[in-house]
Amino acid sequence: MNKLLIATFSLALCAGSISALAQNGQVSAQKKLVTQQQPGRMTWSADNGNGTYTNPLFYDEFSDPDIIRVGEDYYMANSTFIFFPCIPISHSRDLIHWDIIGHAITNPEWAHVDELEGGRGYWAPDISYHNGRFYVTATYRMNDTDGSRRRQIVVSSDRPEGPYSEPFYIEEDGIDPSLFHDDEGRSYMLLNPGAGS
């Protein structure tokens, strides 16, 4: 429930800020992105340097974003499909400036993306936090010739940047998995089992 509230709040905050800036004529129509590469790190900023920012925040492949807040920090996971390392984990303090701090799958032996066709791989990850651990779950989409086309994965780590555990596979068809952690220490996976390809 906190994640839903945070996501709703984040979207409302962004929409409200953009609306207010647009009314004041401060939103730049020009697409602007600051990308800095540091050893082992990518940084994105849509900050215009004058108290405004430009949407969209990312001009790269950051499909299916999922964001959580832990304390004063925001963490985001994104789809990577067939690209390795899999499922980037990004960090922000303000939802504008983002750093990729790690990936959910960094061991090539665990990725299983070598033989996949384009558009397959890791879809729509979910990131959650419970009892001092970060959890990432995603749909692993296989080729149509591989029998079952989809299954779900879960990895975990005590640090948002990882390293994350070896993926645990759940042989359940569907897409868009997310984890719900209750107050009694149990976790549940929610997913859309009726989705198409």
pLDDT digits (tens, 9 = 90+) for 94-137: 988 899 999 999 999 999 999 999 989 999 999 999 999 999 99
Cα separations in angstroms, 20 against 27, 80, 176: 9, 33, 32
Half-sphere exposure of 122 (CA within 13 A, CB side): 30
**Predicted local confidence at residue 25, as pLDDT:** 36
Residue-level pLDDT at 6: 36
Measuring CA to CA, which residue among 6, 13, 90 is closest to residue 55? 13
The stretches in the chain having pLDDT less than 70 are 1-42, 58-61, 146-147, 194-197
> Shortest CA distance to 136 belongs to which of 83, 62, 79, 193?
79
Taking CA atoms, 46 is separated from 57, 96, 138, in Å, by: 5, 6, 27
The Cα 175–Cα 141 span in angstroms is: 9
The answer to pTM > 0.75 is yes
Distance CA 56, CA 95 (A): 12
